[in-house]
A = this chain, B = another copy of it.
Amino acid sequence: MDRTRLRRKPQRGSHDRAVIDAILDEALVCHVAFASDHGPLVLPTTFVRIADELYLHGAAGNAMLSALADGRDACLSVTLLDALVLARSAMHHSVNYRSVVVFGRAHRVEDPAHKRAVLAALLDKMEPARSTACRPPNDKELAATQVIALPLSEASAKARTGPPLPDEDEDAQLPYWAGVIPIVTTRGERVRA
């Protein structure tokens, strides 16, 4: 599809589903954009991938999910920031990252068993097997929750890795530090409620 063609630095891009899925399965938050009644809108939300679909959930009255379930064009972005890249020249500073962009139209998941499977997958993404370590949704809670699905048929990944680009000859001898500062995301010590 033309809109998933990577325009800027295409050598950093990929349409390989294994690359795309690894980013989607690591990230906890995505940003979803669509044309709202007030113009372009982008909002963050949690999400989970199951096979070839991304799933979002929220309250039955959630305006963004209801708008997306209309089937209007949506664009979803997922970004993992891996490192700050410092060069001897200002120009060659950069960041290392892995990102995915998905284009498509969402639809609402109506089947209760399918909704339950999605909500379980969302919990299991927060913590392995969490869906079996809490009380599952009852019928009233399930009815109060909407789940929408966005297919992964138009998705691409982009990444930068590694050290800064080599400095120009006249910069290489400058007395400045150059290299990579990793950005590390970890789970801290749990706090019991």
Residues of A with Cβ closer than 8 Å to B?
A: 2-3, 7-8, 28-29, 31-36, 38-44, 46, 58-59, 62-63, 73-77, 79, 81, 84, 86-91, 93, 95, 97, 99, 101, 103, 119-120, 122-123, 126-127, 130-131, 133-137, 141, 145, 163-164, 171, 174, 176-193
For the residues of A in contact with B, the DSSP-based class is strand
In addition to A90-B123, A90-B134, 19 A-B residue pairs with Cβ atoms within 8 Å of each other are A3-B41, A28-B84, A29-B97, A35-B40, A38-B103, A39-B103, A43-B77, A44-B97, A86-B134, A89-B141, A90-B135, A133-B176, A134-B176, A164-B193, A179-B191, A181-B187, A181-B188, A182-B191, A185-B185
User: Shortest 5 CB-CB distances between A and B: which pairs?
Assistant: A182-B188, A33-B33, A33-B42, A3-B38, A31-B31
Query: B41 contacts A75, CB within 8 Å?
Result: yes
Which residue of chain B lies nearest to A133 when distances are taken between CB atoms in the complex? B176
A62 in contact with B8 given A39-B3, A119-B90, A192-B177 (CB within 8 Å) = yes
Alpha-carbon distance between A58 and B93 when the two chains are bound, in angstroms? 11
Query: B182 contacts A135, CB within 8 Å?
Result: no
Determine how many copies of this chain the complex contains.
2
A188 in contact with B179 given A95-B28, A134-B87, A135-B88 (CB within 8 Å) = no
Alpha-carbon distance between A188 and B83 when the two chains are bound, in angstroms? 9
